[in-house]
């Protein structure tokens, strides 16, 4: 049976019914073609593309035009999966007007179903304006990689009472502003549980324990395609990096040995035609 594309009401209903929401990041056509055939409900064209696709250490280097390239590629394959596009650093903080214009590009040009942005109380007024304009918004609190420098690095957040309370207040502010879901990144499981039980919208955890309404992982991490660093919360479900090495090395050795391409992967020509071609080339002085 063909996968039914979910929408923001489906996700609300899933939370009500206690059905877990599944999400991964995706950045290109080939990968999205696979994800679209899978049981994954929703994807994020994450600004983690800065790390996984471009090799930067952080996410602040990626700009809107680059994100749009990844969004367009994903949208070309993502027909049965809800598509969320990540707003890159400094595309929504400067003014509400700029946030609206940039989010509009993610929806119109990038063909995303929704956008995601980082921050809680501090960004709630922007979220409210985007939602009023008809753009579905996903929040992202806890460890917010775009402000990693201000947080002192990529660290677990909300470990003391004051920080935990602030994250809970952030979640409530985002819900009031109208988000359809909230990503909770790298926070203690019990804090994620309090948030999940306190808001009506689904929570999507990454390093936030098992009590969230759904989970998200960076697809390169779960498939074993990225080993520069592996956060504690990442579980590898495949080792595609190793499989790729094997395939590439087999190809290289077959080419060196003359075993590839074989008859099956080549185009032939009748022998008499080959002889006629050689004869004519010689007659015409081409060879």
* Residue placing its CB nearer to ligand KIV in the complex, 231 or 260: 231
DSSP E strand boundaries for the chain: 21-25, 42-45, 82-86, 114-116, 137-142, 181-185, 203-206, 214-217
Residue 79 has a CB neighbour count (10 Å cut-off) of 13
Which of 46, 69, 62, 175 lies closest to 115, judged by CA?
46
* Smallest separation (angstroms) from ligand KIV to the CB of 43: 10
* Residue placing its CB nearer to ligand KIV in the complex, 149 or 287: 149
185 flagged as catalytic:
yes
- What gap in Å lies between CA 124 and CA 126, rounded to an integer? 5
* Smallest separation (angstroms) from ligand KIV to the CB of 78: 16
Contact residues for ligand KIV, defined by CB under 6 A = 25, 44, 46-48, 86, 140, 183, 185, 206, 216, 218
Residue closest to ligand KIV when measured from CB atoms: 46
Residue 233 has a CB neighbour count (10 Å cut-off) of 16
Q: Please tell me which residue in 121, 185, 254, 283 is annotated as part of the active site.
A: 185
Residue set of the binding site for 3-methyl-2-oxobutanoate: 47-48, 86, 116
* Residue placing its CB nearer to ligand KIV in the complex, 25 or 157: 25
* Smallest separation (angstroms) from ligand KIV to the CB of 268: 48
Element (H, E) at 70: helix 64-75
Positions annotated as catalytic residues are 185
């Amino acid at each position: 049976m063909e996968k039914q594309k979910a929408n923001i009401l489906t996700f609300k209903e899933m939370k009500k019914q206690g059905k877990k929401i599944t999400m991964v990041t995706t950045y290109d056509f080939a990968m999205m073609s696979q994800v679209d055939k899978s049981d994954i409900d929703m994807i994020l064209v994450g600004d983690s593309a800065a790390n996984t696709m471009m090799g930067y250490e952080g996410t602040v280097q990626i700009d809107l035009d680059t994100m749009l390239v990844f969004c367009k590629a994903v949208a070309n394959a993502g027909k049965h999966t809800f598509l969320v596009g990540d707003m890159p650093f400094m595309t929504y903080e400067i003014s509400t007007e700029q946030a609206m214009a940039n989010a509009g590009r993610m929806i119109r040009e990038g063909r995303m179903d929704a956008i995601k942005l980082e921050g809680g109380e501090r960004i709630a007024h922007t979220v409210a304006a985007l939602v009023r304009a008809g753009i579905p918004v996903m929040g992202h609190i806890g460890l917010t990689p775009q402000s990693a420098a201000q947080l002192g690095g990529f660290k677990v957040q909300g470990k003391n009472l004051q920080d935990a309370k602030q994250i809970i207040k952030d979640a409530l502010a985002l819900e009031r502003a109208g988000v359809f879901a909230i990503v909770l990144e790298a926070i203690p499981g019990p804090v994620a549980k309090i948030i999940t039980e306190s808001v009506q919208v689904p929570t999507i955890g990454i390093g936030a324990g098992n009590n969230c309404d759904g989970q998200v992982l960076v697809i390169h991490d779960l498939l074993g395609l990225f080993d520069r660093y592996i956060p504690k919360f990442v579980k590898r479900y495949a080792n595609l990096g190793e499989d790729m090495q094997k395939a590439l090395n087999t190809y290289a050795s077959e080419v060196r040995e003359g075993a590839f391409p074989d008859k099956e992967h080549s185009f032939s020509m009748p022998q008499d035609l080959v002889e006629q071609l050689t004869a004519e080339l010689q007659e015409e002085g081409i060879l």
